[in-house]
Amino acid sequence: MTKRQPTPSTPFVRFKANYIPLYRTLLVLSSFAVLTSLASLTNVRTPLSHIGADLFYASSGLITILVVPVFMISSLILLWHKHPFGIRLRLIGYLISTIATVLGFFTSKETLHTVIQRTIETSKQTQGNLSPEVAANIGETSFYGALYIALATNVIFALLWWRAWKRQVRADKKKQQKEQE
């Protein structure tokens, strides 16, 4: 006769009992990321404004704002339920985001030039003392720096999720074997 352990009473205790620490951490971080990605929907006008000047950059921006969150939200729901399709959707979401970032990286020259010109014009209107060279350096550094950070974040979190998923599956199998004994 096997002894059954009492079921956890509070949601936090159940949360701790159901998920390994890395998986829990990624679930919480991903929940916050989903909330911030929903806030980025208010910025959908920016890529739309670039359609005439830089179609590929606008497309990559629209993919990042409209398509990637759909994958991330649905995968997060499935990952909370430990469904195997959840990790696949999550990795596909990171892949799509990476492709959109690379597309934006290689097709953003025209957009970057436009942003730098607007910065210079704004600086002149506000009697700022910003030379075109300094504006170009700041613009390129911040623009490409953000793209590099986005790429690194995608790769790091894809690897972390894969590792957490594997560990969670292993922990669930051990837990199931203990319950069967």
- What residues does each domain of the chain span? 18-180
Q: What is the tens place of the pLDDT at every residue in 47-93?
A: 888 788 778 888 888 998 999 999 999 999 999 999 999 999 999 99
Which residue, among 75, 111, 74, has the nearest Cα to 90 in the 3D structure? 75
Which residue, among 120, 159, 157, has the nearest Cα to 138 in the 3D structure? 120
Burial grade of 75 (CB within 10 A; 0-12, 13-18, 19 or more): buried
Q: What is the tens place of the pLDDT at every residue in 149-159?
A: 999 999 999 99
How many Cα neighbours within 13 Å face the side chain of 108? 19
